[in-house]
Amino acid sequence: MIPAPFDYHAPQTLEEAFALLTSHGAESGDAKVLSGGQSLLPLLKLRLGATGHLVDIGRIPGLEYIKEEGGFLLIGGRTRESALEHSDLVRAKYPILADTAEVIADPLVRNLATVGGNLAHGDPANDHPATMLALSAEVVATSPRGTRTIVIDDFFLGLFQTALAADEILTEIRIPEPPASPLRSGGAYVKLERKVGDFATAAAAVQLTLGAGGAIERVGIGLTNAGPMPIRASEAERSLTGQMPTEERIAEAARLAAAATSPGADRRGQIEYKRQMARVLTMRALKKALARAEVH
């Protein structure tokens, strides 16, 4: 399959990219940013989408990094999933992100696919949106007007729609460092997929912090592929906050999370089945996150 014709541009700097996005994107709405291309190119090949101009940000230096700074984990927008998956820092301190990276598509795709692309694509079936909701991440958008920070809850506007303007590039993801001693933090991402490379039938992301007495001080719960947008299970979060994580409360939170979903029926299953899976996976993710918090 061959995509419909487009012009390809490979800017060397962000400024060049902005100039291209401004002239072709902001003015005529006919440009797309190409990051790893592992979602966008299949979409163009299947002709589910078309664009007049592809602006490849792959040759712009300085957009691939994973580092801690100022109380945040900073991930460059073009950081590959494989880098996240193999990062010692991520594996040690942000296991929810390692869980996520290693179930995205397959290892070959992860050598090209990027974290920023996974978010900017705006697909609720992608795995990072739920993770970033659980982590209360922020997205840094850069444009000729400077940079602005968008909290992840305000980032997804609809199916394939995000808060990014036509001339903005997602340059960084900022994740608050999980509170440590005397508090304890843990996170997990649990995904049900029919086979490697498939989108989630259902998946749940949990990041939580326990107080010194063992009560849940803060919990973030995100759900993948459970509706037209990535879902934050707010009621489930509220039901756990300030509480001891008993079996009953975990079961109740999982039930509330499932109630927040609105999945569609497809070859991955019927609506009721997917809701049940959202419940079960939320429970498992909560337990895994708790277990991880307890060993820290």
Partner 1 sequence: MSQHEIQVKVNGSEHKATVESRLLLVHLLRENLALTGTHIGCDTTHCGACTVLLDGQPVKSCTVLAVQADGREVMTVEGLEQNGQLHPIQNGFWQEHGLQCGFCTPGMLMTGYALLEQSSDPSEAEIRRAISGNLCRCTGYVNIIKSVQHAAAKLRSDAATPAST
Give the residues lining the site for partner 1 (CB under 8 A): 1-8, 10, 37-38, 41-42, 44-46, 54, 56, 58, 82, 105-109, 111-112, 196-197
Pick the closest to residue 38 from 124, 135, 116 (CA basis): 116
Q: Least CB distance from residue 93 to partner 1, whole Å? A: 23
Give, for 170, the enclosing helix (H) or strand (E). Answer: strand 169-176
CA distance 49 to 164: 18
Whether 144 and 70 have beta carbons less than 8 Å apart is answered as no
- The secondary structure of 190-238 as a DSSP string is EEE-SSTTPPPSEEEEEEEEE-TTS-EEEEEEEEESSSSS-EE-HHHHH
Q: Least CB distance from residue 20 to partner 1, whole Å? A: 12
Pick the closest to residue 219 from 292, 127, 136, 113 (CA basis): 136
Give whichever of 80 and 174 is closer to partner 1, judged by the CB atom: 80
Tell the burial category of 273 from Cβ atoms under 10 Å away from its Cβ (0-12, 13-18, 19+): middle
Give whichever of 177 and 193 is closer to partner 1, judged by the CB atom: 193
Query: Scanning the structure block, which residue is given the tokens 């992301």?
Result: 205
Give whichever of 58 and 269 is closer to partner 1, judged by the CB atom: 58
Give whichever of 112 and 229 is closer to partner 1, judged by the CB atom: 112
CA distance 269 to 63: 38
Q: Least CB distance from residue 83 to partner 1, whole Å? A: 11
Give whichever of 41 and 183 is closer to partner 1, judged by the CB atom: 41
CA distance 282 to 295: 20
Q: Least CB distance from residue 135 to partner 1, whole Å? A: 25
Q: Least CB distance from residue 226 to partner 1, whole Å? A: 23
Give whichever of 2 and 295 is closer to partner 1, judged by the CB atom: 2
Q: Least CB distance from residue 106 to partner 1, whole Å? A: 3
Give whichever of 8 and 267 is closer to partner 1, judged by the CB atom: 8
Q: Least CB distance from residue 77 to partner 1, whole Å? A: 17
CA distance 149 to 139: 6
Locate 261 and state its tokens: 């979903």
Locate 220 and state its tokens: 């973030």
